[in-house]
């Protein structure tokens, strides 16, 4: 079984080429692959499969912000089957989509340029140059009332704004938090919030800074704290712009622990630009694979799905 390791601002992935949909990617296998001590190590798995070979590509999630236009799925040859480190599937991953696009070009599956990719949140375009940063469509945002929710994390309680980027986010502005306190905030445990506000769980972002440039940390459901979250950066940018009385037409640089991405909020949707780096490639040993596939029970990470 071949794999490639990639990362976008420190959000890292095991990329598994499976064009014809022959691989059974079980939650146990995903958890084994993502284990940083006993496996390859990653925040998630990107399975690369042709849409024609993947039934899940035609099964939209209820959380999609808008319906797909007629024929949209047919325009996408490839389906990004994204799985969290706990083995659960997720609607969308912005950093993962950039890395996915970079892999398609690097592997010779697609030429550089605009590449439509099917995801569980809908079809998204990836603009992949021959080298350099990748820009991806993230779809239109859906933002709830500002500070209408409450999140407790690291022993502190923050007001939170609900934002959907095809997956749910709770954006917490920590206006009274110094940078040293933001860095010291304990994100080793899952955040607490009202289940009725986020029935499917939520990714939680703690944010400080002005809307022209914001800094964030993130706890991703199904993973834990990560160095970056693409959909989270988009949610933060949209919430920060709305909070400042701005709307579409805004560009917001977002600093994450793993680097910087740029969020462009256009009239119809949000776009995310940032690095997408392929790090290594190799083969999984057959004896390791056999042992991973034989596992039928393994504790999942707390938190749900990204």
DSSP assignment of 145-176:
STT-EEEEETTEEEEEEEEESSSEEEEEE-TT
Q: Does the pLDDT of residue 267 top 70, yes or no?
A: yes
Furthest C-alpha separation in the chain: 57
Q: Find the helix or strand (DSSP H, E) in which 251 lies.
A: strand 250-256
Q: Note the pTM of the prediction, 2 decimals.
A: 0.88
pLDDT of residue 59: 66
pLDDT of residue 136: 98
User: Which residues participate in catalysis according to the annotation?
Assistant: 93, 229
Pick the CATH number of 2-137+276-294 from 3.90.1010.10, 3.40.50.10860, 3.60.15.10, 3.10.310.10: 3.10.310.10
Report the C-alpha dihedral over residues 60, 303, 94, 138, rounded to 10 degrees. Answer: 50
pLDDT of residue 37: 96
Are 43 and 34 in contact, with CB atoms under 8 Å apart? yes
pLDDT band at residue 38, thresholds of 50, 70 and 90?
A: very high
Give the mean pLDDT of 107-113: 97
Which of 44-53, 123-132, 135-144, 174-183 is predicted least confidently? 174-183
CATH class of 142-273: alpha beta
Q: Does the pLDDT of residue 291 top 70, yes or no?
A: yes
Q: Does the pLDDT of residue 65 top 60, yes or no?
A: no
Q: Does the pLDDT of residue 70 top 80, yes or no?
A: no
pLDDT band at residue 64, thresholds of 50, 70 and 90?
A: very low
Domain 142-273 in the same topology as domain 2-137+276-294: yes
Span 238-259, pLDDT tens digits: 999 999 999 999 999 999 999 9
Name the residue ranges covered by the structural domains of the chain.
2-137+276-294, 142-273
Within 10 Å of residue 303's Cβ, how many Cβ atoms? 23
- Burial class for 188, CB neighbours closer than 10 Å (0-12, 13-18, 19+): exposed
pLDDT of residue 306: 54
**65: Cβ–Cβ under 8 A, 6 or more apart, which residues?**
121, 139, 140, 141, 142, 164, 165, 166
Q: Does the pLDDT of residue 17 top 90, yes or no?
A: yes
């Amino acid at each position: 079984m071949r794999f490639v390791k990639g990362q976008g601002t420190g959000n890292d992935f095991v990329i598994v080429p499976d064009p014809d949909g022959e691989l059974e990617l079980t939650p146990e296998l995903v958890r084994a692959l993502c284990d940083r001590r006993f496996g390859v190590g990653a925040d998630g798995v990107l399975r690369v499969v042709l849409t024609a070979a993947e039934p899940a590509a035609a099964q939209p999630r209820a959380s999609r912000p808008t319906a797909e236009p007629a024929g949209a799925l047919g325009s996408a040859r490839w389906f990004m089957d994204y799985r969290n480190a706990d083995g659960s599937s997720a609607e969308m991953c912005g950093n993962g989509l950039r890395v996915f696009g970079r892999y398609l070009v690097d592997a010779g599956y697609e030429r550089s340029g605009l590449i439509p990719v099917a995801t569980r949140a809908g079809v998204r375009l990836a603009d992949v140059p021959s080298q350099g940063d990748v820009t991806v469509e993230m779809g239109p945002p859906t933002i709830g009332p500002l500070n209408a929710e409450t999140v407790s994390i690291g022993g502190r309680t923050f007001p939170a704004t609900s934002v959907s980027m095809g997956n749910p986010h709770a954006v917490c502005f920590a206006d009274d938090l110094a940078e040293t306190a933001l860095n010291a905030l304990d994100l080793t445990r899952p955040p607490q919030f009202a289940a009725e506000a986020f029935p499917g769980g939520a990714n939680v972002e703690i944010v400080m800074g002005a809307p022209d440039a914001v800094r964030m940390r993130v706890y991703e459901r199904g993973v834990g704290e990560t160095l970056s979250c693409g959909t989270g950066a988009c949610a933060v940018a949209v919430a920060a712009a709305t909070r400042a009385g701005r709307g579409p037409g805004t560009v917001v640089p977002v600093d994450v622990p793993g680097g910087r991405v740029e969020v462009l909020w256009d009239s119809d949707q949000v776009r995310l630009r940032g690095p997408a780096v392929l790090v290594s490639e190799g083969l999984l040993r057959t004896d390791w694979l056999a042992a991973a596939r034989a596992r039928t029970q393994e504790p999942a990470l707390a938190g749900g799905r990204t």
